[in-house]
A and B are shown apart, each in its own frame.
Chain A
Amino acid sequence: MHWGGALFTLCLSASLAASSTNNVPSAISGERYNEDLFIRPLLGWQNLLEDVLRDSESSGQHYTLFPLTLGQILEEYSIAELHLTLNSGKWDYDHWGYPDDPSVGTGAELWAWMADGPSSTIDERWTGLRNALAGLFCASLGSLDMRRTSSPSTVFPISFSPSTPHALRYANLPSENVCTENLTPFVKLLPCKSHAGLATLLNPQRIFDADWHGLSIHLRSTEKGTELKLGVQAVFDPVRLSGGRRRDWSFRLLFDRMAGSSVVRVQVPDGESHALSPTFVADDSAAAVYNLITQVPLDVSMSWPYEHTFQYTRVHQSRLVPLSIQRTLRGSSQIHVGYFENLPALVTLWMHTMETKVDGVKRDDLISNVTYHPHHVLANGQKSPSTFQATLTIPAASTLHLSMEVSRAFLKYTEHPPDAMRGWDLPPAILFPVCDPTMGICDMRSTSADVRGRMYTPSLLIDLPTPDFSMPYNVIIFTCTLITLIFGSIFNLLTRSWVIVRVED
């Protein structure tokens, strides 16, 4: 169990409008742009990096800092809120705690709140939105069709109070790859692309080498207009990058580049004999702040000069989150959490076999508010996903086992993907905050929820019965050979006659 590295949270925040000398555009267009890079150590040697670039736009039609392509997509499909994440790897809550951006499910996850209307128009707009984003970000989001789409509004609540009704669509594709072709259009949405600002640090060879990495696009309507937040999160491991010897890190090691402008915050690990260079200004949350307007180019590095070679330490069970999804609870009081599964029609859940057990004892009182929509056949012949939602009450310092029998689907041979032997990915389940029902009035956004933000389980790989794809060819060859032999023999027997030929001397 080798754990190494620091978690870098790269939140890009820079106020370009405030620092610009020409005040005309900010007054007329009302757009602002912020960048923020936040680096946080995990486990003592891993680094989480979160890079958030924030654009906001007034309600006018001028697009100078806000990207025009996204603005047009929002208007075309009447989107109020949009969240798209492309992640790769498995987020380890036990050792890394909560991420700064909670959407860490593997693969592609897309959810959007759209202006309400007849469900056919919502579905049409959802299809249009998926395909537009697929073309924009070079991702196969077109396959997030009705076989993977559902509408869990308690899991993904709308973040503002809309005056008109809105509808939610959510879909998840865990087998989606993230690579440079997704990062290229992502960076092109920024006002300066990758020429200036913290986006110069986004080196694809390094980002995609991280133990866990993800790109996220969050669009929200606020009272001031629309806010766009572009984020890059990555977990780097300096021990692995340095060949297993030292946990020192610097921008040069992590990104192979230097930062150009904006603000960088580094959370300083406490009680360690480390050295952080260059000199920094500490802010209130014990994080070192570097203002890159004055120090350009900047190479932040942290080193442990008194440590000759890094030794892996035994990992203590830390108390970063109250709930571990690997079925171990370390909280001191019981926890209420919502559980949501959105499974494509590859598996069928059998609700009558659902069992809740704590330490081997059946406890059916711990599961409540069960909502289950099994998959059904849609108008176009495809099958919708099955959604399962429940509220779990997990007693203190115990392990809750939730088990259910599933049966696997038997697909037609044309429905299998080209690499059918690999299996199918099942989307991660989501644990979402719910309020304690015994505490009276419930406000989803209050801090009374036991889990902070959503938590994602790892995705699963399921093996469906796969036919022998070479069978039709083999059958045809075999059958044709047999028919030829039979026909040929009978034809010869019937028509061949032996004639004696006299040969003249």
Chain B
Amino acid sequence: MQWLQHLPRHCLFLLACLAAWTSAVSQDEPVANFFGKHNGTSGHTNNWAVLVCASRYWFNYRHMANALGMYRTVKRLGIPDSNIILMLADDVACNARNKFPGSVYAKSGRHLDLYGGNIEVDYRGYEVTVENFIRLLTGRVDPSVPRSKRLLTDDRSNIFVYMTGHGGNEFLKFQDNEEISAFDIADAFEQMWQKKRYNEIFFMIDTCQANTMYSQFYSPNILATGSSEIGENSYSHENDNDVGVSVIDSYTHFVLEFMEGINKTSQVSMQDLFSSYDPVKIRSHPGVRSDLFQRPLEGALVTDFFGGVSQAEIFPVTEEDADTALQYITRVSFPDHVVHPDPVSPQACHDQGVNTTRSNATALTPEKDNIMLDVRWKDIRKWTSIAIVGFLVGWVSFVR
């Protein structure tokens, strides 16, 4: 009866294995899979962008064009207007000096209008001040400030902060009237970290001696890049003879050209962006600061900061499951007493609502199967553990 003597030990071992298996396949796993599968290890759920042009006057047209070029890029890659804070210190599109009213161009030849017909500038003119910028970042705004002028980020937000204007060694000029220093920005970012207002920040700055502006950061998860070293100027790229002024800065021009090759599904990494810097073409030495950034740059995607990408999985669906899913949706969201939405929308306004309901249907069905399987395994594990414990207790008591 050797095996009977060893039975308790075997049972205990089996119990330990079951316990380990249970803890491994726990509730956290689907959640971690959802965040980790497609984002690499970024862990962000939403994207924000803060684009600041800090210079006023017509001859600083290129700074406005810099910020608008970035605005167009982040919009194209998926960040909605509600998540973009655009600060322009002067109005060049409808300026009396602008030969092309309502338009801002970033290249001579004027092929692409950056202003377009759909733009929202949140802080304009005299509202672009150092105080407003720091209040925006830290969230200490007056209660009367409207929602579109607030940075409503949480601890899962990736923020892209872009600043351009005239600057120098550890300062940036706002409207030729006041300055913000690198220490101010570093402290604002630390306040954001303490208040859990960001997951990761990507800070890009295009001014003279720009790399000094990120030298004072001390909060974690910040990746920073600038257009020129200390003692170096950043230069404008080209003039347009009809507009009459320089239309874009060199560093921003080459970054925007790189971004033109990126779309929403692109897997290009931040290291690729930084490797594309060519000091000869840009005519200054751009720099990168990544010591505060936890992830490797090859694993950080450009769309982690520039894009508003949301993860969705589409599973193949069978016909009967689709029907039951649609009935389920109809029963829940259109109770009888609610008026059907206005008839204007589907035909006249080219609404895309129909497509979303279909994709909702496909997403619902496979989850039901997965849930059933999980429930069965949990039951089996539970009852097996109880049976083993009961057997052990019984055996011990009867032997004694």
Contact = CB atoms under 8 A, between A and B. Distances in A.
Contacts of B149: 135
Interface stretch (A38-46, A201-209, A354-362, A386-394): A201-209
B101 A209 contact: yes
Contacts of B100: 205
Given A143-B126, A193-B349, A178 B94 contact: yes
Task: Say what secondary structure dominates the interface of chain B.
Answer: loop
Contact of B125 (A20, A131, A177, A185): A177
A191 B119 contact: no
Contacts of B343: 20-22, 25
Contacts of B119: 180-181, 184
Contacts of A18: none
Contacts of A181: 119-121, 124
Nearest to B116: A180
A21 B346 CA distance: 13
Given A29-B339, A192-B344, A208-B102, A180 B115 contact: yes
B348 A140 contact: no
A196 interface: yes
B55 to A, nearest CB: 10
A184 B101 contact: no
Q: Taking each of B56, B93, B116, which has the highest tally of chain A beta carbons within 10 Å of its own beta carbon?
A: B93
Interface stretch (B2-10, B40-48, B140-148): B140-148
Contacts of A88: 94
B207 interface: no
Contacts of B342: 25, 64-65, 191
Given A20-B343, A29-B339, A184 B120 contact: yes
Interface in A456-503: none
Interface string A71-82: 000000000000
B395 interface: no
Contacts of A204: 102, 115, 117
A222 B177 CA distance: 48
Interface in B73-99: 89, 91, 93-94
A25 B341 CA distance: 8
A134 interface: yes
Interface residues of B, number: 41
A281 interface: no
Contacts of A180: 93-94, 102, 115-117, 119
A195 interface: yes
Nearest to B125: A140
Given A179-B93, A418-B177, A194 B117 contact: yes
Most chain A beta-carbon contacts within 10 A, residue among B103, B147, B341, B348: B348
Nearest to A469: B177
A16 interface: yes
Given A22-B343, A29-B339, A179-B94, A136 B146 contact: yes
B331 interface: no
Contacts of B258: none
Contacts of A64: 341-342
Nearest to A175: B125
B350 A195 contact: yes
Contacts of B115: 179-180, 204
Contacts of B120: 138, 181, 184-185
A131 B8 CA distance: 74
A24 B149 CA distance: 38
A205 B117 CA distance: 8
B357 to A, nearest CB: 19
A367 interface: no
A135 B147 contact: yes
A204 B116 CA distance: 8
A28 B343 CA distance: 13
Contacts of B339: 24-25, 28-29, 62
A179 B68 CA distance: 14
Nearest to B149: A135
A418 B102 contact: no
A206 B117 CA distance: 11
B126 A140 contact: yes
B242 interface: no
Contacts of B350: 195
B349 A195 contact: yes
A25 B124 CA distance: 39
Given A22-B343, A180-B93, A418-B56, A140 B127 contact: yes
B349 A196 contact: yes
Nearest to B117: A204
A127 interface: yes
Contact of B122 (A138, A184, A194, A207): A138
Interface in B21-58: 56-57
Contacts of B348: 192, 195-196
A140 B117 contact: no
B143 to A, nearest CB: 9
B134 to A, nearest CB: 17
Nearest to B343: A22
Contacts of B146: 131-132, 134-136
B78 to A, nearest CB: 19
B340 interface: yes
A419 interface: yes
B118 interface: yes
A22 to B, nearest CB: 4
Contacts of A16: 344
B209 interface: no
B344 A418 contact: no
B176 A418 contact: yes
A25 B175 CA distance: 51
Nearest to A124: B144
25 contacts: A20-B343, A24-B339, A28-B339, A64-B341, A64-B342, A128-B144, A135-B122, A135-B147, A177-B124, A180-B117, A180-B119, A183-B117, A184-B117, A184-B119, A185-B120, A192-B344, A195-B348, A196-B348, A204-B102, A205-B101, A208-B101, A209-B101, A209-B102, A417-B126, A418-B177
Given A22-B343, A138-B148, 12 more contacts: A24-B339, A131-B144, A135-B145, A140-B125, A179-B91, A179-B94, A191-B344, A195-B349, A205-B100, A205-B102, A205-B103, A419-B175
What are the 6 closest A-B residue pairs judged by CB atoms, nearest first?
A135-B146, A179-B94, A418-B177, A418-B175, A22-B343, A205-B102
